[in-house]
Structures are given as structure tokens and as C-alpha cells.
Amino acid sequence: HQGYTNITRLEREHRFGGKSFTIYRDLDGQSCEQERDEASGIVNTETCIAFEMGTCFLHNGYHTIRDLIDKYGLTPEIPPEGRAMFSH
């Protein structure tokens, strides 16, 4: 099997994946790492939660969605460092 051996990959950020990536936050909104239980092999997702950041954001114009977030007491978005976008 032959393939390419001299490859240059260009990324704007310090990591691969473009704008799509996952951040992990604990219940206080602090960075964390998910850990796998050695005995069961189950990953604890209750105390360290994965947030898929994707390539889109919830614009302030989406009033219905924002109203539902408030109505049901959901946790507000936590933008990763350097990617916060706020408007009034």
C-alpha cells in the first residue's frame, strides 16, 4: 500500500479540527478531564460534561430558544477562552 509521506497540514489554531471541537467543564464551569472507571470501563459524564462547540453559535436573535433556556433553568453557554462573542 502506497500513500503520501510528505504532508503539510495548515491550521489556523494550535490544534487540528478547525472550528469544531469539544470542551469539558465541571459543574462549576471549570475545565476538567473525563475519566474512565478502571473496574467498569464507564466514563464519568456526570461531573465532567462534554460540550460540542461546533461551527455555529446561538445568536441573540433566537429569542424563542433563549426564552426556553430561561424557562427551564438551563445552564447558560460557556464559551471557551478567546472565543466569546457577546452582543447587546
With beta carbons less than 8 A apart as the criterion, state whether 29 and 78 touch: yes
With beta carbons less than 8 A apart as the criterion, state whether 31 and 51 touch: no
- Per residue in 28-72, pLDDT (tens digit) is 999 999 988 899 988 888 889 888 776 556 667 777 877 888 888
pLDDT above 60 (res 82): no
Rounded CA-CA distance 53/23 in Å is 7
